[in-house]
Copies of this chain bind each other. A is one copy, B any other.
Amino acid sequence: MKFRPFFIAFLATITLFAQEHIHKSSRALEFPNVPGYITLKTDLHQHTVFSDGNVWPTIRVGEALRDNLDVISLTEHLEYQPHKADIPHPDRNRSYEIALKEAKDHDLMIIHGSEITRQAPMGHSNAIFIEDANKILHNEAKDAFGEAKKQGAFVFWNHPAWYAQSPTGNPILSEFQKERIKNGELHGIEVINVGDYAEESLALALENNLTIMGTSDIHGLIDWDYVGKGIDRPVTLVFAKERTPESLQEALFAGRTVAVFNSLFVGKKEHLVPLLQASLVIEKANYIDKTSILEVTLTNVTSSDLLLENQMEYTFYSSSPVFTIPAGETKTLNIKTLEKKDSVTLTLKALSAYVAPKEQAVIDWEIKVE
């Protein structure tokens, strides 16, 4: 007690001198809104010392702010508690509570979540938008899912292709999971986990109308596993009507997501195509003097490099038909339209954007010539 005044000074001082200006940095993720929706950048699968992670929850908040996320969830394993010797009687809600307090002065939503952890064939699942994690801790997996549903949780299957649980890397739905889906107790599936995009998981998502998810599943530091390797953490972009937890939850149940990992985008066609359309902004379009060559300037407003291929009948002047527009950069395409036109449809395939296994998104932009 007697330390109180002192330590307030202590902390104030550290803050003063650490000069930790958290601002939008080169690692900040950026994606545009789409017509009718706000695009929320989320990472809904993370761990701290409250299960098998290696950091206090405050670090997860700091990482999220540096990465410019809108939403995180700390999904501690309910059952797996390797730090039990030091954190002996864990209230499973603590990780959430600490993060919530840390984030209170920032524009970052903390969603209450937990990981229900079982061996195959049940596997690992995250339940988010829960009310009390302690109540979800049950011996029977079935009871855990039942309680999650009771709390109104959105539940998704983690890393289905993980070979410790799926030795060939080719996941199949178990009877247990089929029943959960039927009962409205399982709603999503990770299609990207850590660095792994599993085409088979995408197939399962489409076949069973599950929400497509991408997560970092971070245990150590985002700086070591991602940033320091020159890559971004995987995220789920959620297209919400408003910037609120309720809207986020509605959007997840409605399946309005795209999973993103660096330049890789995975989503249902109806969500991925509008996202890419909004991601590439036409700055200007005019004919080069005395030619039938249309000069179109495009800006990639996302933090992901966009890898594109010409799908028009017209060819390009001074650009390969396959080209990259790096994150945040502008490129000029010179389209040989053979004669001058008032408007042209620019059609590009996004080579690293999947709407189904092996099927890439094709996007049109209507260009009015100036």
Contact = CB atoms under 8 A, between A and B. Distances in A.
Contacts of A307: 307, 322
A7 B291 contact: no
A244 interface: no
A163 B317 contact: yes
B291 A163 contact: yes
Given A221-B59, A320-B352, A199 B293 contact: no
Contacts of A94: 86
Contacts of A54: 55-56, 58-59
A12 B13 CA distance: 42
Nearest to A317: B169
Contacts of A250: none
Interface in A267-293: 288, 290-293
Given A56-B83, A169-B336, 8 more contacts: A14-B219, A49-B56, A54-B56, A168-B292, A170-B315, A170-B338, A196-B318, A322-B351
Interface of A: 3, 6-7, 9-10, 12-14, 16-18, 20, 49-50, 53-56, 58-59, 62, 79-80, 82-83, 86-90, 94, 117, 119, 161-164, 167-170, 194-200, 219-221, 223-225, 228, 261, 263-264, 288, 290-293, 307, 309, 315, 317-322, 334, 336, 338-339, 351-352, 354, 357-358, 360
